[in-house]
Amino acid sequence: MELYFLGTNAGVPSLQRNVTSVALRLLEERGTIWLFDCGEGTQHQILRSPLKLSKLEYIFVTHMHGDHIFGLPGLLSSRGAQGAATKVTVFGPVGIQSFLQTALTLSQSRVNYPLDIVEHDGGVLLEDGTFKVEAARLEHRVDSYGYRITEKDRPGSLDLDQLQALGLKPGPLYGRLKRGESVELREGEMLHPSQVLLAPKKGRIVTILGDTRPCENVVPLAQDADVLLHEATFMHELADTAAEYFHSTSTQAAEAALQANARQLLLTHFSSRYKDVEHLQPLLEEAKAVFPDTKLAEDFALFPVTRRE
């Protein structure tokens, strides 16, 4: 599980940063990628990245502002032109269906693979054997949502030393035990998975927030998250400006991470007034003063999501 950034700027692109988009790479867990927002130029960013559109499974849109959605029609049509055939589902606020259907229809774009568009107003969006995705409304000029992605706990590894002590060699029985099946050692003697499986691997939690100023749903969405991705449009000296435009400062993002007991905070969605990484350092420093494990997102940066010990 890894986060790969395709755009970290707010509002409009700059020479240093594209507008918002981030991919959650789940190649080991599902063999797919999930995309969160798709600003203009996202497909160009993907061409310069190791990501493959053929692996795209879900797209989650936080809100309907152009710097988060203008790249969607082009990306979806290009995916079909590249020969991808697997289904893609787009989740987003009310309006996303009309926007995409209008853009694709009037441009006569062909999407020759299954495409579902699901509008929502929060709640549990999907849940299967590996992941659960929930959404809740934030506080922005339009309906904006944050997404909480929870990986289900996975069975622990086999205790190889114990298995060898029991005289079991690697083979089909190992697979059955790993799948939770009991096996017969000798006539009438059963070995149960609980006897030879180590502690379960705790599932990871990633929280990705759309544009927002501080509000009550931020902390529940980010509670105990392994990674919290939070906008930091301005330094805290511009807190009044941030509030006026329904955005957050780097200090406010750090305060949210602290209150939510997150493990790591990634800052993104930077105002164009901060032109390069050097100009972003003050935002990082003031966030780290509140929440030390904070990092700046950069275009084409990869952040692994590690498991808790």
Q: Which two tokens stand for residue 173?
A: 């029985």
Residue in 68, 100, 30, 70 with CA at minimum distance from that of residue 208: 68
Q: Where are the alpha helices (DSSP H) in 42-192?
A: 42-47, 66-69, 72-81, 96-106, 160-165, 172-178
Q: Which DSSP symbol is given to 39? A: -
Output Rg (C-alpha) for the chain, integer angstroms. Answer: 22
Question: Is 140 annotated among the ligand-binding residues?
Answer: yes
CA distance 87 to 37: 18
From residue 183, how far is each of 27, 253, 276 by CA, in Å?
31, 51, 60
Question: Is 37 annotated among the ligand-binding residues?
Answer: no
Would you say the C-alpha torsion 224, 230, 234, 235 has a positive or negative sign? positive
Residue in 243, 256, 246 with CA at minimum distance from that of residue 287: 256
Bridge-based pairing state of the strands 302-304 and 2-7: antiparallel
> Is 294 in contact with 254 (CB distance < 8 Å)?
yes
From residue 159, how far is each of 152, 196, 264 by CA, in Å?
21, 5, 31
Question: Is 44 annotated among the ligand-binding residues?
Answer: no
- Could you confirm whether 240 is annotated as catalytic? no
Given 67, 153, 224, 226, which residue is catalytic?
A: 67
Question: Is 159 annotated among the ligand-binding residues?
Answer: no
Question: Is 269 annotated among the ligand-binding residues?
Answer: yes
Question: Is 211 annotated among the ligand-binding residues?
Answer: yes
Binding-site members are: 63, 65, 67-68, 140, 211, 269
Tell me which residues are annotated as active site. 67
Binding-site members for Zn(2+) are: 63, 65, 67-68, 140, 211, 269
